[in-house]
Chains A and B, each alone.
Chain A
């Protein structure tokens, strides 16, 4: 995983709330067995509308998606994160995220940034009046900055450290393999096994 320290990029304003993962990438794209190439499924249904923001060339190359509250609710599909990542997004900003989506995003190095709805509105307006404008997302300082505006966002210390170091979770856990083995030796005997 690449390290994430700061990111400067253009904003794509997505004025929708409750964007569920079925909208981010419809179920038919879940049939693939590969790990990349999901950008073609991103917001597939909405993209058929020529006026949809993803089709607007002014926002070409945007790397920061700014959406309404409850982004990424619904199904657990990691494909939603892959689709956003493969399209080129590095950061998603919203007032609230679906829990599983948020966890999935953190694991893939796509940074979910939680700002209040007022800040989201301010960024939307900015992006709509000046689509070329870049904003700064600073994970070290837990800040989003543009011009004179500074917004702070919450993120737990551990996730922040992992992202900034670009560490893979499984490797981290396997450093404690002995502790796992020890735990296994004390599990209750009546717990079920499959095979």
Chain B
């Protein structure tokens, strides 16, 4: 209707509406998927399903595979770089089978793959943005819950299960019921030394692990606008840890600058058309969210987790909480269980908790900026006696860029291990694991029981806190050194 004012919409609604292939009363919307990322763990059964049904992959040009979860990150052999893609370094036969299966499946169905040894290999959520494939306004899926990372660009990105992977492979679409929308407005400014990781851990501790359930969350406000793309990715990455379907941040100049000139970013006239479109995506002023949360960035300090879910967190300045002080019985029980598993006593100052291992890496904090932050803290210092520190770049390219700046030297001089790209100690699926009873400060996103190896104990932290902890041998912030 000419002259009618269109209903104000949120960022999430705009991207959603642009992808509806088919809508029917009483049925989920059928959404078109712009980018489908694959890795070795959640895809084999999907390909099996396609074969069983005699189906093809509809859009191999919108599908990209990489190897990350199972890949080892330490290579004794210095000639590794010249022996691209060889599997001789994967000693675990099951891991090798999974990777070989992915390669065979990609070859059979014609899907591009960035294999171990390829310069573009890396954690799936690191290489998408790095290649410029992750762009505002896209729908992006992957059989991996941390697909929410890509929402940092204003894409609608979410994790799917293997049967949905099969569905996207066969149809390039997904039937989806429209989630509710939520705004998380972060006002004020983060204080020096406080990072995106601290912000998201504090938010999850406040909102609870189920706080975002059923919602697409849009992070907004001046503290979010002030973050780099890396910081924004850290925030969106952990959306799933408080139950959100997806996390999104409206694209702005920071986003455009990050994308400009990347391999798969639009160029020339295409670039101008794309930017013009991207600018229309921001939430309309009068748009309404189903739920709203406000957070004051200036009140946040370095944050850590003490328990076995990402919501069990507290400021590093504090002490291990007393389970009896939780109001809800389920929370009390969960805290009791967690402290027993974590071998922590209520009232102990966090700064007195010694660690065995420090892990810097993962799709939460394994990008160049994260490595720089850790290097800055550790430069000229030594990793504490008896502490093992692993630094694992999120992608092969991140590794190269870090080496070009000499970060590898800084870590090596401090006594840390400088490794190849992969998920590494984020999850116990490859040779980098904690032993039973070992305690880690980890920049990853999950502190679940056994996540980093059976019986391992995890404290989630920022790269800065991780590095300071490595030096101190106990949980510590850079200011403590």
Interface membership of B16, Cβ < 8 A: no
Interface membership of B32, Cβ < 8 A: yes
Binds A, one of B157-165, B229-237, B389-397: B157-165
In the complex, what residue of chain B is closest to A20 when comparing beta carbons?
A: B448
Bound Cα distance from A43 to B449, whole angstroms: 12
User: Which residue, A45, A104, A169, A176, has most C-beta atoms of chain B within 10 A?
Assistant: A169
Q: Contacts A170-B166, A180-B173, A183-B21; is A191 near B60 (CB within 8 Å)?
A: no
Interface membership of A192, Cβ < 8 A: yes
Where the two chains meet, the residues of B that have a C-beta atom closer than 8 Å to any C-beta of A are 21-22, 26-28, 30, 32, 34-35, 41-42, 44-45, 48-49, 53, 55, 58, 60-64, 69-70, 92, 94-95, 97-98, 101, 112, 132-133, 135, 138, 143-145, 159-164, 166-167, 170-173, 175, 177, 179, 209-210, 213-214, 240, 243, 245, 264-266, 270-271, 273-274, 277, 309, 330, 333-334, 337, 427-429, 446, 448-451, 454
**CB–CB A68/B330 < 8 A:** yes
Interface membership of A56, Cβ < 8 A: no
The distance from the CB of B97 to the nearest CB of chain A, in whole angstroms, is 6
Binds B, one of A2-10, A26-34, A122-130, A140-148: A26-34
Q: Contacts A26-B450, A76-B160; is A157 near B145 (CB within 8 Å)?
A: no
Interface membership of A90, Cβ < 8 A: no
Cβ 8 A contact of A189, one of B101, B133, B171, B270: B270
- A42-100, CB < 8 A from B: 45, 68-70, 73-79, 81, 96, 98-100
List, in ascending order, chain A residues with CB within 8 A of B132's CB.
192
The distance from the CB of B128 to the nearest CB of chain A, in whole angstroms, is 10
**CB–CB A78/B163 < 8 A:** yes
In the complex, what residue of chain A is closest to B176 when comparing beta carbons?
A: A103
**CB–CB B450/A103 < 8 A:** no
Bound Cα distance from A189 to B427, whole angstroms: 39
Q: Contacts A100-B161, A170-B166; is A190 near B270 (CB within 8 Å)?
A: yes
Where the two chains meet, the residues of A that have a C-beta atom closer than 8 Å to any C-beta of B are 16-18, 20, 22-23, 26-28, 30-35, 45, 68-70, 73-79, 81, 96, 98-100, 103-104, 107-108, 117, 156-158, 169-170, 172-174, 176-177, 179-180, 183-184, 187-195
User: Which residue, B55, B171, B274, has most C-beta atoms of chain A within 10 A?
Assistant: B171
**CB–CB A99/B429 < 8 A:** no
List, in ascending order, chain B residues with CB within 8 A of A194's CB.
35, 60-64, 112, 133, 264
**CB–CB B429/A28 < 8 A:** yes
Bound Cα distance from A41 to B132, whole angstroms: 38
Bound Cα distance from A27 to B41, whole angstroms: 10
- Please count the residue pairs between chain A and chain B whose beta carbons lie under 8 angstroms apart in the complex: 197
The distance from the CB of A98 to the nearest CB of chain B, in whole angstroms, is 7
A to B CB contacts below 8 Å, 19 in the list:
A16-B337, A26-B428, A26-B454, A31-B70, A33-B97, A34-B45, A73-B309, A74-B145, A75-B144, A81-B161, A99-B243, A100-B240, A103-B160, A108-B163, A157-B26, A176-B22, A183-B21, A193-B62, A194-B63
Bound Cα distance from A72 to B64, whole angstroms: 28
Q: Contacts A75-B145, A158-B27, A188-B277; is A23 near B171 (CB within 8 Å)?
A: no
Q: Contacts A31-B95, A76-B144; is A191 near B162 (CB within 8 Å)?
A: no
Q: Contacts A31-B429, A176-B21; is A78 near B161 (CB within 8 Å)?
A: yes
The distance from the CB of A103 to the nearest CB of chain B, in whole angstroms, is 6
In the complex, what residue of chain A is closest to B165 when comparing beta carbons?
A: A78
Bound Cα distance from A68 to B60, whole angstroms: 41
**CB–CB A22/B166 < 8 A:** no
List, in ascending order, chain A residues with CB within 8 A of B167's CB.
169-170, 173
User: Which residue, B161, B179, B428, has most C-beta atoms of chain A within 10 A?
Assistant: B161
List, in ascending order, chain B residues with CB within 8 A of A33's CB.
44-45, 48, 97-98, 101
**CB–CB B277/A17 < 8 A:** no
Q: Contacts A192-B264, A195-B60; is A100 near B159 (CB within 8 Å)?
A: yes
In the complex, what residue of chain A is closest to B28 when comparing beta carbons?
A: A158
List, in ascending order, chain A residues with CB within 8 A of B138's CB.
191-192
List, in ascending order, chain B residues with CB within 8 A of A104's CB.
161-164
Cβ 8 A contact of A107, one of B58, B164, B171, B277: B164
Bound Cα distance from A193 to B26, whole angstroms: 33
**CB–CB A190/B30 < 8 A:** no
List, in ascending order, chain B residues with CB within 8 A of A28's CB.
428-429
**CB–CB A22/B450 < 8 A:** yes
In the complex, what residue of chain B is closest to A23 when comparing beta carbons?
A: B449
List, in ascending order, chain B residues with CB within 8 A of A158's CB.
26-28, 177
List, in ascending order, chain A residues with CB within 8 A of B70's CB.
31
**CB–CB A77/B42 < 8 A:** yes
User: Which residue, A100, A184, A190, A193, has most C-beta atoms of chain B within 10 A?
Assistant: A190
Bound Cα distance from A182 to B53, whole angstroms: 24
In the complex, what residue of chain A is closest to B53 when comparing beta carbons?
A: A170
The distance from the CB of A115 to the nearest CB of chain B, in whole angstroms, is 15
Bound Cα distance from A173 to B163, whole angstroms: 13
Bound Cα distance from A26 to B433, whole angstroms: 13
Cβ 8 A contact of A73, one of B62, B133, B170, B210: B210
Bound Cα distance from A153 to B364, whole angstroms: 36
**CB–CB B273/A169 < 8 A:** no
In the complex, what residue of chain B is closest to A105 when comparing beta carbons?
A: B161
**CB–CB B94/A76 < 8 A:** no
Bound Cα distance from A70 to B161, whole angstroms: 18
List, in ascending order, chain B residues with CB within 8 A of A189's CB.
270, 273
The distance from the CB of A41 to the nearest CB of chain B, in whole angstroms, is 12
In the complex, what residue of chain A is closest to B158 when comparing beta carbons?
A: A100
In the complex, what residue of chain A is closest to B95 when comparing beta carbons?
A: A31
**CB–CB B22/A179 < 8 A:** yes
List, in ascending order, chain A residues with CB within 8 A of B41's CB.
30-31, 77
